[in-house]
Chain A
């Protein structure tokens, strides 16, 4: 078999890619795509089931559920992107420094990361949000902090592997500075596994953000987020289940898309993990 392309897996990655692209486009062009504004009230049409005017129904204030779900995409993407980026950048800096300089710096940094890593992520997110105060910005910060130890472990292991290569020794031998060795030799060689991890972090961030909003600790009403929409809709489950079901399906599809892309990236970058 060897280098034969595994079509079923690629097809899944492709489906994931299409979902991710669609979600990103919807987030960017939300005002153009959404039939109504996220806060527009249609008082005559409260708790309306899906109709021609409101394809996915309306909520308890007569707001269009489809439009709110579309605008909520923005919050999710912003939080997930910023949180994953924060985790990636800070985690990589810590991991690379720990591996490159070793010694006590490695010991101190990694011990600290280990403690952060051993916290249950959901509990940490909730406590951090309580400490920082409820806002979308703080959700980015809290979720980003949770990702730092994972990225730092990965960056450290990858850097250690690179440091054993002869080209790093050669660079040190010709007197290249630390900054240049890290930028030119280390970073380009550790970036692939970190990006795979970033895709996984992205989908986990979407889940965590929606959970925080669901608990009332993230995006605050009336601004729509998938989590707070599900939470509001729970009060109307008997009469108007679409209020919760629509944003729930949006989370499911988005997370699924990012997971499929992540699996595809892992297969592409690391053939050993394929079975």
Chain B
């Protein structure tokens, strides 16, 4: 084996390093894009912080204090360096340190996205499996149709309907708000039911299709035929062999969907008044509060990028064939 034929480990290493480099590149470009986009937000931070009666002198003083009168690239480099050192700046609006607030809100959004993800999987895995086992029969059509219907509902409309039904009509659940899990687990979960359902049901539309397709493919593969030929009962074939194999394909897509869920919490957090990263983004926009807006938008983006990176690396390590497929 000469250098023209890299060993399997070498090709995996090359792929991993390439992936890591592209992650870092994405990180830099994404932060730059966000920074520039947010700098051109119409209306000035000074105007929002000081009110409409602010004198030109007061505005100039505000801009000088916050370094807003310097060239954009200087501001970017300073911000990037501070962020890398864990300093997210202070809010223009109330002078509060953004960092600790960001940490608290990250956990809130993580909980919301996590619960929504659980809802989506609890719907998608059983329904997708059932549809595949009843391929091209009535229950398959019903489940596929259901997935198509779920996929057409906007999450914020589903949220509105849930509030109408569960809060206003049946008076079962509070309309919104947030209580930390550590303070009162039951109250926390009760408040999370509707937000998690709104996001999870919509998200299950795609996952049902993925699970169904993965199961159909596995069920027609040789090793399932062999297991059947050996006389293994249907229950064993499905539970021990088929689902396990289908899940490896499924989880790949599901993990990316988790990142997507994390990135789509903005509206739901707004509706249910959940103090997560999504509502932080909206607060930042409303108040032209650059440090808040930048820190929250960037953390969401970084989280999504990291999830995608982990998925790619995991796939690479678990299935070396992917490396060759991509090269071909």
Residues of A within 8 A of B (CB): 8, 12, 111-112, 114-115, 118-123, 126-128, 130-131, 133, 203, 207, 210-211, 214-215, 217, 230, 233-234, 237-238, 241, 244-245, 248, 251-253, 255-256, 259-260, 263, 275
**CB proximity to A under 8 Å, residues B175-232:** 213, 216
Minimum C-beta distance from A39 to chain B (A): 24
* A252-B153, A255-B152, A256-B152 as given contacts; A211 in contact with B267, CB under 8 Å: yes
Complex-state Cα separation, A253 to B148, whole angstroms: 11
7 A-B pairs closest in CB distance: A120-B263, A248-B157, A256-B152, A255-B152, A131-B37, A130-B285, A115-B29
Contact B152 A126 (CB under 8 A): no
Q: Is B293 positioned at the interface, with any CB of A under 8 Å from its CB?
A: yes
Contact A252 B152 (CB under 8 A): yes
Contact B262 A120 (CB under 8 A): yes
Contact B41 A118 (CB under 8 A): no
Contact B293 A130 (CB under 8 A): yes
Partner of B168, one of A114, A120, A237, A252: A237
Minimum C-beta distance from B276 to chain A (A): 13
Q: Which chain B positions have C-beta within 8 A of A263?
A: 148
Residue of A nearest to B167 (CB): A237
Q: Is the interface of B mostly helix, strand, loop or mixed?
A: helix
Q: Is B151 positioned at the interface, with any CB of A under 8 Å from its CB?
A: yes
* A122-B263, A123-B281 as given contacts; A237 in contact with B29, CB under 8 Å: no
Minimum C-beta distance from A62 to chain B (A): 22
The contact sample of 28 A-B pairs, CB cut-off 8 A, is A111-B22, A111-B25, A115-B29, A115-B30, A120-B259, A120-B262, A120-B304, A121-B263, A121-B264, A122-B266, A123-B264, A123-B266, A127-B34, A130-B285, A130-B293, A214-B154, A215-B266, A215-B267, A215-B270, A215-B282, A230-B156, A248-B154, A248-B157, A248-B160, A248-B161, A252-B154, A252-B157, A255-B153
Complex-state Cα separation, A2 to B135, whole angstroms: 17
Q: How many residues of B contact A (CB 8 A)?
A: 49
Contact B154 A211 (CB under 8 A): yes
Q: Which chain A positions have C-beta within 8 A of B37?
A: 127-128, 130-131
Contact A211 B151 (CB under 8 A): no
* A115-B30, A118-B30, A131-B37 as given contacts; A259 in contact with B152, CB under 8 Å: yes
**CB proximity to A under 8 Å, residues B30-66:** 30, 33-34, 37-38, 40-42
Complex-state Cα separation, A111 to B297, whole angstroms: 21
Residue of A nearest to B158 (CB): A248
Contact A120 B213 (CB under 8 A): no
Complex-state Cα separation, A119 to B260, whole angstroms: 9
Minimum C-beta distance from B150 to chain A (A): 10
Contact B308 A126 (CB under 8 A): no
Contact B26 A118 (CB under 8 A): yes
Minimum C-beta distance from B260 to chain A (A): 7
Contact B41 A275 (CB under 8 A): no
Q: Which chain B positions have C-beta within 8 A of A251?
A: 154, 157
Q: Is B305 positioned at the interface, with any CB of A under 8 Å from its CB?
A: yes
* A123-B281, A126-B266 as given contacts; A210 in contact with B154, CB under 8 Å: yes
Q: Is B13 positioned at the interface, with any CB of A under 8 Å from its CB?
A: no
Contact A118 B154 (CB under 8 A): no
Residue of A nearest to B163 (CB): A237
Complex-state Cα separation, A217 to B41, whole angstroms: 13
Q: Which chain B positions have C-beta within 8 A of A123?
A: 263-264, 266, 281, 297, 300-301
Contact B308 A118 (CB under 8 A): yes
Residue of B nearest to A6 (CB): B136
Residue of A nearest to B168 (CB): A238
* A127-B37, A131-B37, A275-B216 as given contacts; A120 in contact with B260, CB under 8 Å: yes
* A119-B301, A252-B152 as given contacts; A241 in contact with B164, CB under 8 Å: yes
Q: Which chain B positions have C-beta within 8 A of A131?
A: 37-38, 40-41
Contact B157 A230 (CB under 8 A): yes
Residue of B nearest to A111 (CB): B25
Contact A234 B160 (CB under 8 A): yes
Residue of A nearest to B259 (CB): A120
Complex-state Cα separation, A114 to B308, whole angstroms: 12
Complex-state Cα separation, A234 to B159, whole angstroms: 10
Complex-state Cα separation, A244 to B300, whole angstroms: 29
Contact A207 B141 (CB under 8 A): no
Complex-state Cα separation, A253 to B154, whole angstroms: 11
Partner of B151, one of A118, A253, A259, A275: A259
Q: Which chain A positions have C-beta within 8 A of B304?
A: 118-120
Partner of B156, one of A114, A128, A214, A241: A214
Q: Is B74 positioned at the interface, with any CB of A under 8 Å from its CB?
A: no
Q: Is B236 positioned at the interface, with any CB of A under 8 Å from its CB?
A: no
Q: Which chain B positions have C-beta within 8 A of A114?
A: 22, 26
Minimum C-beta distance from B12 to chain A (A): 21
Residue of B nearest to A249 (CB): B157
Q: Is B149 positioned at the interface, with any CB of A under 8 Å from its CB?
A: yes
Q: Which chain A positions have C-beta within 8 A of B152?
A: 203, 252-253, 255-256, 259
Contact A122 B267 (CB under 8 A): yes
Partner of A127, one of B29, B149, B297: B297
* A215-B282, A275-B213 as given contacts; A122 in contact with B264, CB under 8 Å: yes
Residue of A nearest to B300 (CB): A123
Per-residue CB proximity of B298-313 to A under 8 Å, as 1/0?
A: 0011001100100000
